[in-house]
Structure 1
Amino acid sequence: MNLPNRITLARIFMIPLMMIFLLVDFDFYPSPIQFGDYSLPYNQLIAVIIFIVAASTDGIDGYIARKHNLVTNLGKLLDPLADKLLITAVLVSLVEMGSVPSWMAVVIISREFAVTGLRQVALLDGSVVAASSWGKVKTVTQIIAISLLLLNNFPFAFISIPVDVIFIWLATIVTLYSGIDYFVKNKHLLRQN
């Protein structure tokens, strides 16, 4: 197994660890980080660090695979799967924590599955649905939104601007738009099948 695939697998293995820190209530956690009205439990801080590390490996594994000509079929399967598992796991966790409305999580997750289905149809047709610029914007807005939500809107909590809420709305809108964009640009695949 090559290095990019190992990095992708590491991303997948970070997901349950992140969820444990987010959702399991251990009695031995120290008191939360406090700055005036702002509070962040240590377990949540550890979870956001794991999330950011996991999310950053997405670009790293792809870059290494392309630069060193290590692109494999396993990597083509695992990389998007790892991305979807990471985003789905953290969104479900945020819904359970009461930080994200369930309908937003459903919209974002549904788009991910729909585009994956479209890619599968394309593969059966012998073509590839390439990543779009809107798909990349979607990924960045999702990562920023999730990071801000996990950090309880740090540092914007000090100036009372709900940037985390603004970004999850933006991520939802961009996610929906990018999904529509994929289907409009590849509608020929749906007509043929």
Structure 2
Amino acid sequence: MPLNLPILLTWLRVALIPIFVGIFYLPHDLLPLHSQNMLGTLVFALAAVTDWFDGFLARRWNQTSSFGAFLDPVADKLMVGAALILLVELARAPAWLAVIIIGREITISALREWMAQIGKSKSVAVATIGKFKTTAQMIAILFLLWWDALLPGIPTRWIGLAALYIAGVLTIVSMFYYLRVAAEQFREHG
């Protein structure tokens, strides 16, 4: 396993998951709900920034590796999955929508693994629709974690829910896009 700054940033993202989740389980007399929302949002935002930054540095410094290519999406899926499950438990997101998003992530990860095994991983590389889905998902999670109004008249919960529904639609559309791209390989390789 190579050890460089991009991979360390990815490991940091994984390490932030229990911290991020734990913040919302602290007793309210120790950390009031408003403070939990702020701190949890900041930790999630830090993780999101490391996601962008580790890939940027790996490409810029030519430190890409197969291990990094494996670990990065795993860290992303774990962080997003943990956030969505937490939001469902906090009654800030519908469970059915979280199941769709998490289910798609598992399905596409398995599809990418299978495509890599048959030497066709470039066929299911991240597409623009997937980037839009991820952007909507991150915006939704950040607003739903914050939950409180940013400024008077700016209801973060409604912005977050709207972004989550948009992410849900893009999740389904992108899943069908990737499945359509891979359909030819399914026919060839059974």
* TM-score (normalizing by structure 1): 0.90
CA distance in 2, matches of 1:113, 1:121: 12
Aligned-pair identity (%)? 33
In the superposition, relative to structure 1, how do residues 51 and 159 fare at CA in structure 2: closer, same or farther (>3 Å)?
Answer: closer
What is the aligned partner in structure 2 of residue 188 from structure 1? 184
Query: Over aligned residues, Cα RMSD in angstroms?
Result: 1.6
Residue identity matched to 2:91: G
Residue identity matched to 1:111: R
CA contact (8 A) 1:23 1:93 kept: no
What is the aligned partner in structure 1 of residue 61 from structure 2? 68
- 1:66-106 CA distance string (max 9 Å, x none): 11111111101100000000000000000000001100000
What is the aligned partner in structure 2 of residue 175 from structure 1? 171
Q: Which among 122, 128, 139 is matched to residue 133 of structure 1?
A: 128
Count of aligned pairs: 184
**Does residue 18 of structure 2 align to residue 16 of structure 1?**
yes
CA contact (8 A) 1:95 1:102 kept: yes
Q: Which among 144, 150, 158 is matched to residue 145 of structure 2?
A: 150
What is the aligned partner in structure 2 of residue 44 from structure 1? 37
CA contact (8 A) 2:149 2:155 kept: no
CA distance in 2, matches of 1:64, 1:18: 24
CA distance in 2, matches of 1:180, 1:186: 10
- 1:149-180 CA distance string (max 9 Å, x none): 11116337625582222111111111111111
Gaps of 5+ in 2: none
State the shift of 1:24 in Å. 3.2
Residue identity matched to 1:166: A
CA contact (8 A) 1:19 1:47 kept: yes
Q: Counterpart of 1:99 in 2: which secondary structure?
A: coil
State the shift of 1:13 in Å. 0.4
Residue identity matched to 1:147: L
CA contact (8 A) 1:111 1:175 kept: yes
Gaps of 5+ in 1: 33-40
